[in-house]
Chains A and B, each alone.
Chain A
Amino acid sequence: MFLPFLYELRARGVPVGTTEAVQLAKALSAGLHEQSLDGFYHVARALLIHREGHLDDFDQAFLKVFKGVDVASKKIQDELLEWLKNAAPIADSLSEEERALLENLDPAELEKLFEERLREQKERHDGGNKWIGTAGTSPFGHSGKAARQGIRVGGPGGGRSAIKTADARLYQGYRQDLTLDVRQMQLALRKLRTYARAGGDVELDLEGTIASTAKNAGELEVVVRPPRRPNTRVILMMDVGGSMDPFALLCSRLFSAAKKSTHFKELRTYYFHNCVYGRVYETERFTDPVRIEDLLHECGPHYKLIVVGDALMAPYELMSPGGAITYEGEERMEGISWLMRLRNHFRKAAWLNPEPPRYWEGNTIETIRSVFDMFPLTLDGLGESMAHLLRTR
């Protein structure tokens, strides 16, 4: 039965439930899978998976549950043997060794050999370690190569077996917990848009016109209203240099996505190094400093603050006054205090961290997480952070 498979999918975070199970049962009872594992793979994928981000999880779960099954699966085996028989007449395109194999053995012996080989391989597979991540460990892989050549030549062209398809993990690129490109970021940022009507009355309000015309006993009365305009103001602060260098490409993508987004009423971008102390900068080369005091004065609490940084530094840089030795006077305040000051000023703020969440314990990230709500800089994380910024308390 396919229930263990559904639980395996759930364990991988693919949301399958009763609806999907019932659908799949219906499809199977209608014979859509044509009694084959390949058919089952395609039918199950169409019904259980709803977004391409889960295709890779599906392949992995399929491998885990059905890996051993394919060899035992009578139908597929029969097909293979059938192909093998067909292969003999086209021996020209086989290598010397393969031709020798085909010529020297009569079909019955060949079948036996092939079955043996399959069995051998199964044993080796089951005895070996798990398959996840190592591409190309197909059940008919390496040592069955001679037979496979024959199959490929004689077979009706390019029919990949389900296990092979799953094993190739073609959909790895569509996983959503991986990092992302500009377009995807733009779309994620687009979630932040909210609108307000502002400016001159230039748009025809159809409903309003109808309502007031009706009130006016049928004499036409045209109502106009101001058009909808974006109403979100965003401050984007980015950590650059040092430990952020490995993520420079990712950050520049986020930056260009934000810059390209036209749905913000205002977007301010600033840079800082390591941690915010007293000032942020308008350029990546740390020229044109802006004092935090002035920034907070200019920007009200309704701005949404997005900080991008790995939040990794030496503890003293965060915790001791004068952690950043370049500043004097009033700016001799701990980095963490500056961060708290920023956080407390704005109603909504989020911290995007390019470091994977598994490194978020036991370092300065943990401290900063107590101040800012932190999200990983992945498509999922970005989406979550946008939802977080929009949530009204």
Chain B
Amino acid sequence: MSEFARFSGTTTYLTSPSLEAAVNCALALERPLLVRGEPGTGKTLLAEAVAASLDHPLIRWNVKSTTRAQDGLYVYDTVQRLYDSRFQDKNVGDIRQYIKLGPMGEAFASKERAVLLIDEIDKADVEFPNDLLNELDRMRFRIDELQEEVVATKRPVVIITSNAEKELPDAFLRRCVFHFIDFPTPELMADIVRVHHPDLDERLADQAIEAFFELRAMKRLRKRPSTSELVDWIAVLRAAGVGEVKLEASLPFLGTLLKKEQDLVAFADQLAGGKRWRS
């Protein structure tokens, strides 16, 4: 087996041994890496970190509910061609100028190895991942209009994220290296906060993290705050010059942590009840 570049996090992205093992497996075996986990646990950031640490360009493909697999490969702009044909100011016989490569096509065609991020694959239609199987396996596809084949000379590093909203097809899952990002432990969380806010007051950091985990422990919350929300919250606290957060008092800028009206009501309820709201 040939030597491959190993990934071990960057200065701004902290990893765990299991995440590193998963990324390195994907790199060594040249398989797509499927990352799942709660929203806000840094799935998308992982791709950026991998691209940065291996020094490869990052190509993003943000999947939406209307995205089709074909869009990722190439788009044949028939309407533009039709339109041009009426004015005859361009050579419509040259189909090439109406073929636009999608993010996946771009990653395949790239001269150097690229990192392809397929973000939130579960947003698309249920059949979407199945339509990509062949292309991901063989790293090549055919442009029918040109009778040409695009073949990846350097197999791109494919990182796929999913919010675990939708079940992905088995055939697709079997081709991927899988990693589930755990919610960070308080210790790791403290490290993460330190990476994002290096000059933060130690005491405020501890208080904020403690308040954050208390908040997460509340059973009545519909949407529990996650890492990215804590980082944002601390940024807001610092910008506003808040020097202290108390658990029992109402928390400042709660809106950055709790995003649902019911959650804010639930939080107020617990506070007003005067009892400890940890239960």
- Residue-wise, chain B 148-176 has the 8 Å CB interface mask toward A (1 for contact) of 00000000000000001111101001101
Point out the residues of chain B lying under 8 angstroms from A206, CB to CB: 79
Q: Which of B1-49 contact A (CB under 8 A)?
A: 1, 4, 17-18, 20-22, 24-26, 28-29, 31, 34, 36
**Alpha-carbon gap, A26 to B36, bound state (A):** 24
Number of interface residues of B (CB under 8 A): 38
Task: Check if A52 sits within 8 Å of B17, measured CB to CB.
Answer: no
Point out the residues of chain A lying under 8 angstroms from B277, CB to CB: none
Given A26-B1, A187-B165, A213-B82: A46 in contact with B174 (beta carbons within 8 A): no
Q: Say if the beta carbon of B276 comes within 8 Å of chain A.
A: no
Q: Say if the beta carbon of B178 comes within 8 Å of chain A.
A: yes
Q: Say if the beta carbon of B231 comes within 8 Å of chain A.
A: no
Q: Say if the beta carbon of A1 comes within 8 Å of chain B.
A: no
Q: Say if the beta carbon of A133 comes within 8 Å of chain B.
A: no
Task: Check if B167 sits within 8 Å of A159, measured CB to CB.
Answer: no
**B18 in complex: contacting residue of A20, A32, A42, A52, CB < 8 Å:** A42
Closest to B168 in A: A51
Q: Say if the beta carbon of B131 comes within 8 Å of chain A.
A: no
Least Cβ distance of A329 to chain B in Å? Answer: 46
Task: Check if A46 sits within 8 Å of B82, measured CB to CB.
Answer: no
Closest to B223 in A: A183
Q: Say if the beta carbon of B56 comes within 8 Å of chain A.
A: no
Task: Check if B21 sits within 8 Å of A46, measured CB to CB.
Answer: yes
Point out the residues of chain B lying under 8 angstroms from A340, CB to CB: none
Point out the residues of chain A lying under 8 angstroms from B178, CB to CB: 46-47, 49-51
From B25, B34, B178, B179, name the one whose CB has the most chain A CB atoms within 10 angstroms.
B25
Number of A-B pairs, beta carbon distance below 8 Å: 85
**Alpha-carbon gap, A174 to B182, bound state (A):** 11
Q: Say if the beta carbon of A218 comes within 8 Å of chain B.
A: yes
**A: contact size bracket:** 35 or more
Task: Check if A218 sits within 8 Å of B1, measured CB to CB.
Answer: no
- Residue-wise, chain A 206-226 has the 8 Å CB interface mask toward B (1 for contact) of 100010010000101000000
Closest to B179 in A: A46
**Alpha-carbon gap, A97 to B7, bound state (A):** 42
Task: Check if A210 sits within 8 Å of B82, measured CB to CB.
Answer: yes
Least Cβ distance of A31 to chain B in Å? Answer: 9
**Alpha-carbon gap, A191 to B127, bound state (A):** 12
Closest to B17 in A: A42
**A42 in complex: contacting residue of B22, B31, B168, B185, CB < 8 Å:** B22
Given A15-B170, A187-B166: A29 in contact with B1 (beta carbons within 8 A): yes
Q: Say if the beta carbon of B187 comes within 8 Å of chain A.
A: yes
B: residues with CB less than 8 A from A are: 1, 4, 17-18, 20-22, 24-26, 28-29, 31, 34, 36, 78-79, 82, 85-86, 126, 164-168, 170, 173-174, 176-180, 182, 185, 187-188
Apart from A158-B185, A210-B78, list 17 A-B contacts with CB within 8 A.
A30-B4, A30-B28, A32-B28, A42-B21, A42-B22, A46-B26, A50-B34, A50-B173, A50-B174, A51-B167, A51-B173, A52-B164, A170-B182, A174-B180, A183-B165, A187-B165, A210-B82
